[in-house]
Amino acid sequence: MRLLFNVHRPSDRSEYVPQYPGFEQLFHVALASAPPEAHIRWPEHLHELPGDGDVESRLYDAMEAALRRLYIVRNSFDVVLVHFPDSWNPATRSKSFDAHDALKALGAKYNIPTQVLNDRVFNFQHKASLAWRLATALYVKAAGTPWKLARLQGVPVDTAYIGLAYALRGDHGNVHYVTCCSQVFDMDGGGMQFVAFEARDPVVDVAEARRNPFLSREDMRAVLARSLSLYQGRNGGNLPKRMVIHKTTAFKDSEIEGAFDALAGVSEIECVEVNSASCWRGVWLIKSGFQSPPSKPSNYPVPRGTMVVRSGNSAMVWVAGNAPTVSNKGDYYQGKKSIPRPLQLIRHSGSGPLELIAHEALALTKMDWNNDALYDPVPVSIRYSQRLARTIANVPDLPRDVYPYRLFM
């Protein structure tokens, strides 16, 4: 942790990563170790963990016991660092158990944000990148806001965004329920909260639910009404002027009807399918300098932010692509490999220019506070909801409640 106090020059991605200036210089707050009573040491070896049962059960009990002890001295720290040695891999991740997700669920129960460290962090060579990632994560988990969305031209100020993701619970021998995770936040990047909601209606066709999960009209109305209440709680009881709902699969008529039931007081409602599995590709052509052929393929991909309209309600937008304005050396393509595929946006309800929903999707790919990348492949409304859905799927006894996102980072 001492490396976060020091200045580090970038040794990878030098055209994009700036110099790390030190934690206090960067965030203008101090970083300090918690007092001894907030430090807990586990045995070196898995088999030395106390308790009965298999190692997964004993590790789970050890995590809960540790968080229970820390909860007693909760006022003495902000974030808990948890080290899982690589030698513990047989227990930390198996077909039936994921220690990371279990820890996050337990942290949500005790309202304690956690940062998991594995052995790689101790020998990672690129110290500037490591410092940026770890410092940003700690700052966010301690309730800091590292960056916000800039005002988007044409977007009403009182616009809110909701991302829907689904997870199936149980096995083929049990009744399956679709669990819906709704993530709500406003244009300022505030209110990043989850609604963990268990659908009431049973899933009849499991194969169809896995391919294209959806909620009934009643369940969609219930979860969006809860989300709207969250927004009003943060905004003095006021309703948003516009609500944008993202999900990765098509909206059924019943879902749209449920959305309009719950959001009857909202002037504009946009239901947008965000599909990242597009089969489309694009090559950027530049002038060749010759009469024939007049153009040639660029050495870099299609520029980030390029949009192609497909129909009156669908468009493709390249959120991954060449972004020369963020680089100090000209052209810059994150990852530097493969031909990027565009996001396919399909509007199932709403009106207005498609450029607006494409601009929002592009901006929301920069809002993930859990990494130092230029962008995510999907908007944060989708990314965050998928993360909580995965946690709920792996930890089915997580109480259905409202949680701040920082508990699941």
Task: Evaluate whether residue 149 is within a structural domain.
Answer: no
Read off the CATH number of the domain in which 394 is found.
3.30.420.10
Is 229 found in the same domain as 85?
Answer: no
Same-domain check for residues 242 and 110? no
Q: What is the reported pLDDT for 34? A: 95
Same domain, residue pair 133 and 163: no
22-59 confidence digits (pLDDT tens): 999 999 999 999 999 999 999 999 889 998 888 999 99
Residue 87 falls inside a structural domain: yes
Both 163 and 136 in one domain: the answer is: no
Distances (CA, A) of 3 to 119, 127, 189, 302: 16, 8, 29, 38
Tokens of 406: 């920082």
251 and 357 both lie in a single domain: yes
- Provide the number of structural domains found in the chain: 2
Q: 100, 115, 141: which is the final residue of a domain?
A: 141
pLDDT at 316 over 90: yes
146 is a domain residue: no
148 domain residue, yes or no: no
pLDDT score for 213: 79
Q: Compute the chain's Rg from CA coordinates.
A: 23
pLDDT digits (tens, 9 = 90+) for 122-181: 999 999 999 999 999 999 999 998 888 888 888 888 899 999 988 776 555 554 566 777
Task: Write the DSSP assignment of 142-153 as a string of letters.
Answer: TT-----PPPPT
Please, are residues 179 and 383 in contact by the beta-carbon 8 Å criterion? no
Sheet (strand 193-202) strand order: 307-309, 314-317, 343-349, 268-275, 242-247, 159-168, 177-186, 193-202, 402-404
Domain that holds residue 298: 159-407
Q: Is residue 329 part of a domain?
A: yes
- pTM comes to 0.89
At which of 75, 108, 141 does a domain end? 141
Flag whether 147 is in a domain: no
* Cα–Cα distance for residue pair 38/42, rounded to 1 Å: 13
Q: Are residues 47 and 92 in the same domain?
A: yes
Average pLDDT rounded to a whole number, residues 356-364: 94
Q: Rounded mean pLDDT of 289-307?
A: 93
**CA dist., res. 154 & res. 230, Å (int):** 25
**CA–CA separation, 1 and 129 (whole Å):** 14
Domain boundary (141, 171, 194) is at 141
Convert the pLDDT of each residue in 236-285 to its tens digit. Answer: 899 999 999 999 999 999 999 999 999 999 999 999 999 988 889 999 99
The dihedrals phi and psi of 159, each to the nearest 5 degrees, come to -105, 135
How does residue 71 score in pLDDT terms, banded at 50, 70 and 90? very high
Domain-located, residue 189: yes
